[in-house]
Amino acid sequence: MQFQLDDERIAIRDMARAFAREKIAPHALEWDENRHFPLDVLRQAAELGMAAIYVREDAGGAGLSRLDAALIFEALAEGCPCVSAYLSIHNMCAWMIDAFGSQEQRERFLPRLVRMERAASYCLTEPGAGSDAAALTTRAAREGDDYILNGQKQFISGAGNEADFYVVMVRTGEAGPRGVSCIIVEGGTPGVSFGKNERKMGWNAQPTRAVMFDNARVPLANRIGAEGEGFRIAMAGLDGGRINIGACSIGGAQAALDTALAYMRERKAFGKRLDEFQALQFRLADMATGIEAARTLLWRAAGALDDRTPDATRLCAMAKRFATDAGFDAANGALQMLGGYGYLSAYGLEKIVRDLRVHQILEGTNEIMRLIIARGMVRG
């Protein structure tokens, strides 16, 4: 594996970074304060191919690699981790249809997702089934040429907006993972309703709601793959999702570190600039090392996922666990460097800390990542 990016990948990263600086960063604090979901900006990102990064080109996608996607999500997260993270969820949903859907489904659904006419949400978690995803109880019963859905999904990012689209994991058969199927539910389907927009510690620039199904009728033609394949599809999606959220953590942490370093070059104490104190230099060094180590592991995992190596799932779990922990620690350390100013919203560090905290929970908690890693080691 090469650790130096070629000119094409540098151009991809720089394109996303320029977009983040121009379109995202100047508004991130306002979006956070007002709980505004910037669909207009996300659609501008879609015009640059960032709503279907690793969807195949024949469906209108960019046809890029998981490593390319990691570079893009890291760069966007320098502007706002929350916005970047939502875009990663949308990309995961589009990829599931591209990778596992029929040609008819790809032609019917993907053009709207590529252009982000529809904003996609991923519905796996339930009130009683978070880390134990195979225990989900939302049921889809067959009735003629339709499924009738009943149940509830919890903590669904992007839910309830005016252009909603849901990739939903439901139970169509026996208990456990073999009874799970994957169904597309379009916004406006009768019987689909939403909980309140949750008030959260962070991630305020995207709505988070419960999604309820009460005898919601969905065509059989909206099922992705065969009955019973949903859990496999869900886990495949989460491998990439873990890479993406790790990249968002790295991008947020890098932005926090850059802010802290700029502040320390200007601020003086006891007659010296803060960046001249060796104790603070050591803390900067540790934070930078953690970010770079996380980035290197993430690239390694992304490469394994692109190559479909047998250890890809384990490496994705490692990268997610390490990157989200290291990213949060670096952002929290950067806030400390600013003292009381870091605690104020004006510098943006407290927002980054709040946004990155949830990355240690979603896409599988970091405790579950340790379980995945350990099981791979024990089973050999």
State how far the Cα of 54 lies from the Cα of 332, in Å rounded to an integer.
32
- Same domain (yes/no): 25, 83: yes
pLDDT class of 133 with cuts at 50, 70, 90: confident
- Same domain (yes/no): 44, 152: no
- Same domain (yes/no): 375, 271: yes
pLDDT in tens, 301-358: 999 999 999 999 999 999 999 999 999 999 999 999 999 999 999 999 999 999 999 9
- The predicted pLDDT at position 290 comes to 98
- Same domain (yes/no): 261, 196: no
Of 165, 198, 228, which one is at a domain's C-terminal end? 228
Residue from 74, 126, 350, 363 carrying the catalytic annotation: 363
Q: Is residue 304 in a domain?
A: yes
- The predicted pLDDT at position 235 comes to 92
Which residues fall within 8 angstroms of residue 13, CB to CB, at 6 or more apart?
A: 5, 71, 72, 74, 75
> Whole-model pTM above 0.85?
yes
pLDDT of residue 3 exceeding 80, the answer is no
Dihedral sign for Cα atoms in the order 342, 347, 348, 351: positive
- Return the CATH number at 143: 2.40.110.10
Q: Is residue 271 in a domain?
A: yes
Q: Is residue 2 in a domain?
A: no
pLDDT in tens, 28-82: 999 999 999 999 999 999 999 999 999 999 999 999 999 999 999 999 999 999 9
- Same domain (yes/no): 336, 289: yes
Q: Percentage of the chain surpassing pLDDT 90?
A: 93
- Same domain (yes/no): 253, 139: no
| Placement of tokens 């502040």 in the chain | 263
Of 213, 228, 243, which one is at a domain's C-terminal end? 228
Of 89, 118, 147, which one is at a domain's C-terminal end? 118
- The predicted pLDDT at position 131 comes to 78
Q: Which tokens in the block code for residue 243?
A: 């890479």
- Same domain (yes/no): 217, 235: no
- The predicted pLDDT at position 1 comes to 56
Mean pLDDT of the chain: 95
- The predicted pLDDT at position 60 comes to 95
- Return the CATH number at 105: 1.10.540.10
Q: Is residue 295 in a domain?
A: yes
Q: Which tokens in the block code for residue 332?
A: 């929290």
- The predicted pLDDT at position 2 comes to 63
User: How many separate domains does the chain show?
Assistant: 3
- Same domain (yes/no): 142, 237: no
Q: Could you confirm whether 363 is annotated as catalytic?
A: yes
Output phi, psi for 198, to 5 deg.
Answer: -65, 140
- Return the closest-CA partner of residue 1 out of 301, 257, 230: 301
- Same domain (yes/no): 370, 263: yes
Q: Which tokens in the block code for residue 10?
A: 């540098």
For residue 117, the Cα-to-chain-centroid distance in whole angstroms is: 19
Q: Mean per-residue pLDDT for 69-97?
A: 97
pLDDT in tens, 231-285: 999 999 999 999 999 999 999 999 999 999 999 999 999 999 999 999 999 999 9
The range of the structural domain enclosing residue 299 comes to 231-379
- Same domain (yes/no): 125, 207: yes
- Same domain (yes/no): 105, 133: no
Q: Mean per-residue pLDDT for 106-110?
A: 96
Q: Look at strands 180-186 and 164-171 and give their pairing.
A: antiparallel
pLDDT class of 379 with cuts at 50, 70, 90: confident
